[in-house]
């Protein structure tokens, strides 16, 4: 079964390669590739997302530091007053300390999940927008094929890298959509 899968995959790959070379021989064939990570990082939306992510991360980091300080203060208090406290009071303070440590671990775990969810939200939104922009860009630029650099391109001439042009188109698209949304609100 695996053998048939691999043979089929190789045959399809060879057909695709042959098809691309046939179209490439045609003088009207135009293709380009983009570095999606570069586009997402350097576009205006990518910068906004990065800024929001960093702000959220700083907010969480500050909250973590506050919680760590509280935990450290409680630990020092237990160590300082340890012998002076009754066994019941000491047990109560140690129990409170353990609860604070557990709550802190849960907070850290939840914070990581929140950050990943926020990142996923930004990625999903940007990918959806980039799909629209890339299609419009491809049609207006008369491209027959636009590929993503990291999804199978081993080598391509730098002259076919259209990432910077797509960033410009994406930024312009976002700007136009924001203007339209402002008009609709009025």
Domain chopping of the chain, boundaries: 26-185
Average pLDDT, the chain: 85
- pLDDT confidence band for 15 (50 / 70 / 90): very low
pLDDT tens profile 46-72: 999 999 999 999 999 999 999 999 999
Distance CA 7, CA 5 (A): 6
User: 26-185 — its CATH code?
Assistant: 3.30.910.20
Decide: pTM greater than 0.85: no
Q: Name which of 183, 180, 146, 168 is nearest 45 in CA terms.
A: 168
Helix or strand holding residue 148 (H, E): strand 145-148
pLDDT tens profile 127-152: 999 999 999 999 999 999 999 988 88
């Amino acid at each position: 079964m695996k053998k048939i899968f691999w043979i089929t995959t190789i045959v399809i790959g060879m057909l695709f390669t042959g098809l691309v070379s046939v179209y490439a021989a045609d003088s009207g064939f135009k293709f380009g590739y983009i570095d999606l990570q570069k586009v997402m990082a350097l576009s205006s939306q990518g910068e906004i997302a990065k800024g929001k992510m960093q702000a959220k991360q700083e907010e969480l980091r500050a909250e973590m530091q506050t919680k760590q300080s509280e935990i450290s203060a409680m630990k020092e208090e237990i160590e300082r007053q340890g012998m002076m406290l009754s066994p019941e009071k000491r047990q109560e303070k140690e129990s409170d300390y353990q609860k604070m440590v557990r709550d802190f671990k849960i907070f850290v775990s939840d914070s990581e999940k929140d950050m990943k969810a926020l990142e996923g939200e930004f990625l999903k939104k940007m990918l959806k927008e980039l799909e629209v922009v890339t299609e419009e860009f491809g049609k207006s630029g008369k491209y027959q094929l636009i590929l993503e650099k990291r999804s199978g391109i081993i080598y391509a001439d730098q002259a076919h890298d259209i990432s910077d042009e797509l960033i410009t188109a994406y930024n312009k698209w976002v700007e136009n959509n924001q203007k339209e949304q402002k008009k609709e609100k009025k």
